[in-house]
Structure 1
Amino acid sequence: MNINLSKEAQEWFQQEMQVKKGDHVRFFVRYGGSSPIQDGFSLGVTKDEPIDAAITLEENGIVFYIEDKDVWYFDGHDLNVSYSEKYNGPQYDYSKNEQQ
């Protein structure tokens, strides 16, 4: 599994969440909401230090990550983060990782 992040999404995180070089951004599982891969769960995001990061992506000194305890949610899918002009925020899409 991988995290893929568009340049526009990265810029959004830097501007709106005020993340900078040396910071960590965690994608985590939330109970409730909707998701195309897990009924009754959705994806959240926060600026937080990793405890047991399983998947990481470093872009411009910022580490985006998923904790080991949240990997089940992705069910073998990659996380693709882009920027949505319509919602003025990140958009999360999932693609099946064929290397699993």
Structure 2
Amino acid sequence: MAITISPQAQKWYQDNLELVPGDGIHFYGKVYGKTNVHEGFSLAFIKSKPQQPYYQVQYNGISYYYDDEDVWFFEGLNLAIEYDEQTDSPIYNFSED
């Protein structure tokens, strides 16, 4: 499992969530919605400093991660996060690991 985040998407998170080095974005699966590989579940996130992440990647001192209880949502998948200028928001794309 890998999380990759484009520089434009990183900037969106930093600007919109007022992130500073040491902060984190916790990704998790939530009921309702869908992704390109999940039916009935969608990706959610919250600004939160990581305590004991199961997986994390850092860009510019900011952690993007998920915890043990979120493994079911990410297992066997990679997550690529891009930025969409038209909607001014991140785009999430899962692919098999």
Please indicate, yes or no, whether the TM-score normalized by the shorter chain is above 0.5: yes
User: Closer, same or farther in 2 for the Cα pair 1:67/1:52, shift >3 Å?
Assistant: same
**Structure 2 match to 1:66:** 66
Deviations 1:32-64 (A, max 9, x none): 111222211000011013344111001111011
**Structure 1 match to 2:37:** 37
Does the CA-based 8 Å contact 2:24-2:64 persist in structure 1?
yes
**Structure 2 match to 1:7:** 7
CA distance in 1, matches of 2:72, 2:88: 28
CA distance in 2, matches of 1:73, 1:92: 14
**What SS does the aligned partner of 1:40 have?**
strand
**Structure 2 match to 1:49:** 49
Deviations 1:48-91 (A, max 9, x none): 13344111001111011011211211241101011011210111
Off by >2 Å, runs of 4+ in structure 1: 49-52
Cα RMSD of the aligned pairs, angstroms, is 1.2
CA distance in 2, matches of 1:37, 1:75: 12
CA distance in 1, matches of 2:77, 2:15: 28
TM-score by length of 2: 0.92
TM-score by length of 1: 0.90
Corresponding residue pairs, total:
97
Percent identical: 34
2:37 aligned partner, one-letter code: I
